[in-house]
Amino acid sequence: MEKEDLLALYRQMVLIRQVEDRSAEMYGKAKIGGFLHLYNGQEAVAVGALSALNPDDDVLTTYRDHGYALLRGCSPESVMAELFGRATGTTGGRGGSMHLANVKNHFWGGYAIVGAHLPLAAGLAYAAQYQKDGRVVLCVMGDGSTNIGYFHATLNWAQLWKLPVIFMVENNRYAMGTPLDVHSSVTDIVQKAAGYRMHAEQVDGNDVMAVREVICRMADRARAGEGPSLVEAVTYRHRAHSMADPDVQRAKSEIASWKEQDPIERFAEEVLLPKGYTQADFDAIVREAEVVVQKAVEFADASPEPGRDTLYDHVYATPVANMQVDGTLIAPPTLAAR
Ligand SMILES: Cc1ncc(C[n+]2csc(CCOP(=O)(O)OP(=O)(O)O)c2C)c(N)n1
Ligand SMILES: [Mg+2]
In angstroms, the CA 46 to CA 293 distance is 19
How far is Cα 68 from Cα 61, in angstroms, rounded to an integer?
A: 8
What is the model's pTM? 0.95
CA distances from 39 to 15, 44, 45, 157, 263 (A): 12, 10, 10, 30, 12
Q: What is the pLDDT of residue 320?
A: 66
Residues 6+ apart with CB under 8 A from 41: 172, 206, 235, 236, 237, 238, 239, 258, 259, 262, 263
331 pLDDT more than 70: no
Ion ligand 2: residues, CB within 5 A, are: 142-143, 172, 175
Q: Which residue has the higher pLDDT, 329 or 172?
A: 172
Atom of ligand 1 nearest to the CA of 172: 20
pLDDT of residue 310: 87
Inter-CA distances, 70 with 20, 80, 195, 233, Å? 11, 10, 35, 20
Q: Tell how far the Cα of 187 is from the centroid of ligand 1, in angstroms.
A: 17
Pairing of strands 58-62, 107-111: parallel
Average pLDDT value for the chain: 95
Average pLDDT over residues 311-335: 71
pLDDT at 315: 78
- β-strands 328-330, 323-325: how paired? antiparallel
The model's pLDDT over 42-72, given as tens digits with 9 standing for 90+, comes to: 999 999 999 999 999 999 999 999 999 999 9
Q: Is the CB of 144 under 6 A from ligand 1?
A: yes
Domains of the chain: 3-306 (3.40.50.970), 308-338 (no CATH)
How confident is the model over 69-91, as pLDDT tens digits? 999 999 999 999 999 999 999 99
What atom of ligand 1 comes closest to residue 142's alpha carbon?
Answer: 15
Confidence at 334, pLDDT banded by 50, 70, 90: low
Pair 68, 59: CB distance under 8 Å = yes
Mean pLDDT of 23-52: 98
Q: What is the pLDDT of residues 211-230, one digit of tens each?
A: 999 999 999 999 999 999 99
Instruction: Tell me, in angstroms, the distance from the centre of ligand 1 to residue 328's CA.
Output: 37
Interval between CA 176 and ligand 1 midpoint (Å): 6
pLDDT at position 327 is 79
Ligand 1 within 6 A of 46 CB?
no
Query: What is the largest distance, in Å, between two alpha-carbon atoms of the chain?
Result: 66
**Cβ neighbours of 3 (radius 10 Å):** 12
Q: How far is the CA of 142 from the centre of ligand 2 (A)?
A: 5
Query: What is the best residue among 139, 176, 189, 245 to mutate for testing ligand 1's pocket, by most ligand atoms within 8 Å of CB?
Result: 176
Q: Which ligand 1 atom is at minimum distance from the Cα of 148?
A: 1
pLDDT grade, residue 308 (50/70/90)? confident
The mean pLDDT of 141-154, rounded to a whole number, is 98
Residue 155 has a CB neighbour count (10 Å cut-off) of 24
Residue 73, pLDDT score:
98
